[in-house]
Amino acid sequence: MKSKTYSYVLAAFGAAIIAVLAQLTIPLPLVPITGQTLAVGLIVMILGTKLGTLAVLIYILLGAIGLPVFSGFSGGLAILVGPTGGYIVGFLIQAYIMGIYMDKFGYNYVHGIISNLIGMVITLAFGTIWLKIVADLSWTAAFMGGVAPFILGGIIKAIAAAWLGVIVRNRLMSAHLLQKTA
C-alpha cells in the first residue's frame, strides 16, 4: 500500500501535467482551444476519481493564487472571474463526474471515451453559461463562441485522453506505482 504522501505527490504531478499541457494553445476570438481539457481527461483516466479531482483542484488553486499555470502562462483570480473562468471551474466537476463514471464502468477505452465526452459536455456547459453571463452575450452568441468551435477538437481530445490514459494507467498499475483504488 502506498503512503498518503505518495498519493499527494501523484496528484501534484497530475496538476503539473495539466499546467504544462495548458500552454498548448490555439487562439480563437472568445475562448482559446487549449490542452487543459485533454490534460484533465488524461489525469482522471490515469489517477482515478479521488487523485484526479485533487490534481485538478491543486491546478485551479495554483492558478488562483497567481502562478502562471493557466493557458498563455496566465494566473490569478481575474482569470477565474473572466470569460474563461467557467471552463476552469468546470474542470473540477468534469474530473469528479468522469472519475465516478470510470469507477462504476471500468477504466477501459470505450468507457474512457464515453467519460471524456461526458466531461467535455460538462466543461462546455459550465464555460458557456459563465461566458454568457460575464461577457453579457445572448445564448446563441455564447453557444457559437463557447461550444461550437470546440466540439470536433473535444471529441478528438476525448479519444486521445482515453487511449493514452488507459495505456499509462495500466503500465503504472503493472509496475505497482498506482493502486486500483487510486
pLDDT tens column, 41-63: 999 999 999 999 999 999 999 99
Q: What is the CA radius of gyration of the chain?
A: 16
- Give how many domains the chain has, as a whole number: 1
Residue 180 lies in a domain: no
CA gap 124, 138 in Å, rounded: 16
CATH number for the domain that contains residue 104:
1.10.1760.20
Residue 33 lies in a domain: yes
State which residues form the domain around 44: 4-174
Residue 15 lies in a domain: yes
Residue 180 pLDDT: 75
Task: Write down the mean pLDDT value for the chain.
Answer: 94
39: β partners: none
Residue 52 pLDDT: 97
The answer on pLDDT for 172 being more than 50 is: yes
Residue 179 lies in a domain: no
Q: How confident is the model at residue 182 (pLDDT cuts 50, 70, 90)?
A: very low
Residue 181 lies in a domain: no
Q: How confident is the model at residue 3 (pLDDT cuts 50, 70, 90)?
A: confident
pLDDT tens by residue, 30-40: 667 789 999 99
Question: Residue 128: which residues within 8 A CB-CB, separation 6 or more?
Answer: 86, 142, 143, 146, 147
Lookup: cell for 68: 502562471
